[in-house]
Structure 1
């Protein structure tokens, strides 16, 4: 999911098109084969939990869910004030009816329905325990979000988009064991919206001990992006990465200098630093340092380095 782009979410595996689960007034609508769609379940922004449950039960009643591989959970009803626990309950209680589920987008809610920091999440750990064969989990919204340490053998991609990611979630991921995880992307956000994670909270992730297959790491959208860059510059996990994203945050010359003077990053295929506060001379140094090694560097969306107040790309 990409919050900045409200285009329909599509599963990377097969690029499955989004298909909305039909409501009670769409009985005659022809439906695709269960495995040919990324099924989306969501109600209007001002809907309620009862409407969502009714729609979910229609889904499991109308569709052969044993063949469904991709599922998108949209608004579970007034998501700006009602948390996601009922949506989690419905999914976990019907997990045995979704044995083929591999891709789950949880919280596909546009800013017209609720700003990202308004989305009320809950404990999503049961989604991982209930679906041991899940390969991709994308979550949007950090308010009230909980992810406890867990072991999951199949998960390959984990993404959490937020305007403020709680420190407990960051620690929970770092203390989890994901032997198959190849991509990890976290939008850390700002303290004003609950993004209270420090570099110390990222220690488990940066060590990489429980992430042996990791090839892409995104620690993004942070107001402490310079500190994160300094930690990444000596982090053991970096040596096995192919791509690294420290974008969308308040990265300045101090963080860029740490990247240049730390462990070599020349093995990377891509370094994403877009939305940054680097001065022109530092941006030129970064480009030159990586160009000779063929590393693609994204330094687009340069903000004014002298701004006293640096903002991240996504907060409220």
Structure 2
């Protein structure tokens, strides 16, 4: 469950701008990451965004977070993409963008209705950091960016089309890729085959952190990762939040060496006590997170974030 908004983004403290924000007393535009959002049954997102552009020197804004918008499952026009795209030229220095900093009290993660984000991203071609929360309706075409260094998708069910689009993207300077893959019940239908171009690493020569997380097929992912060429150049690997069992951990231990990693995150798993010990023993110089152990004998295994 996600219960707190971002408090820091792109190395900056977050400052909120909402329906009731006054012009007086606002911080310098480049000193914070701006969270712009509304509240349920409050002013329309477009109205809040319009006031933000009026009150803040947006030419100095470097980090922008889009929070809650007036979600209507019958009206796609309530989504933030068109209003934001229409004023994108007012944000020439935005390098970090997070779409959907929405907590459980506002909407469950799998109820967040996104859309095709291609047009919006085209209006911010110099982004170095992009994060998206929510997978409902999310669509993406393959990207080409010389600037993007961090790409993050948080979802209880990430559509396979999005995974394939990332896999087909040309991102020569991407250093960090994180995908919460989720479960089929909430649209997470990606397969290991969809991830194969990512695991090959051919299109991601600068990748140093890879997170393939929150998956009900975490064992299959671990088997693929164990032989994936991209792993040799990683500094950190995150396979946390999913339904990882001894089968997946055995594959990791039997595959290519992982001792070059600085960290391996397996938090929230279904490993036996014996396997936990084996993993720790096999990787003495690696920071391994094996907290969040669930019952390895549980037949119904759940991921950390679904609905």
* Fold equivalence (TM over 0.5): yes
> Where does residue 51 of structure 2 map in the other structure?
58
Determine if the alignment matches structure 1 residue 134 to structure 2 residue 132: no
1:55-204 equivalences under 5 Å are 55-78=48-71, 83=76, 86-204=79-197
Q: Which among 20, 24, 29 is matched to residue 29 of structure 1?
A: 24
Partner SS state of residue 9, structure 2 = coil
Q: How many residues align?
A: 307
TM-score for both structures, normalised by structure 2 = 0.95
1:299 corresponds to which residue?
290
Name the CA distance, whole Å, in 1 between partners of 2:84 and 2:124: 9
Q: Per the alignment, in what secondary structure is the counterpart of residue 97 of structure 2?
A: strand
Q: Greater shift after overlay, 159-168 or 33-42?
A: 33-42
**Alpha carbons of 1:26 and 1:157: their partners in 2 closer, same or farther (altered >3 Å)?**
closer
Whether 1:18 and 2:31 are equivalent positions in the alignment is no
Answering whether residue 297 of structure 2 is matched by residue 311 of structure 1, we say: no
SS of aligned partner of 1:19: strand
1:205-234 deviation digits (Å, cap 9, x = unpaired): 111111111100000000000000000011
* Separation (CA, whole Å) in 2 of partners of 1:142 and 1:123: 11
| Mapped partners of 2:40, 2:18: distance in 1 | 17
Query: Mean alpha-carbon deviation: is it higher for 223-232 or for 34-43?
Result: 34-43
Counterpart CA distance in 2 for 1:84 and 1:9 is: 28
Going from structure 1 to structure 2, the CA distance change for 1:212 and 1:93 (only over 3 Å counts) comes to same
Match of 1:39 in 2: 34
Which residue in 2 is equivalent to 1:4?
A: 2
Deviation digits for residues 145-186 of structure 1 (CA, Å, limit 9, x no counterpart)? 111101011111111110000000000000001111111110
Structure 1 position 29, deviation (Å): 2.9
Runs of 5+ unmatched residues, structure 2 = none
Whether the aligned pair in 1 keeps the contact of 2:144 and 2:170 (CA below 8 Å) is yes
TM-score by length of 1: 0.93
Shift of 1:93: 2.1
After superposition, the Cα gap between the structure-2 partners of 1:111 and 1:80, relative to the gap in structure 1 and judged at 3 Å, is farther
Query: In 2, Cα distance between the equivalents of 1:187 and 1:67?
Result: 32
Q: CA deviation at 1:201?
A: 0.7
Partner Cα distance (2:74, 2:144) in 1:
31
> Which runs of 5 or more structure 1 residues have no equivalent in the other structure?
none
**For residues 110 and 79 of structure 2, what CA distance do their matches in structure 1 show?**
19
After superposition, the C-alpha distances for 1:71-101 in whole angstroms (9 at most, x for unaligned) are 1101111266655874111222222211100
Taking the aligned partners of 1:26 and 1:10, their CA distance within structure 2 comes to: 20
Q: Distance in 2 between matches of 1:276 and 1:40?
A: 33
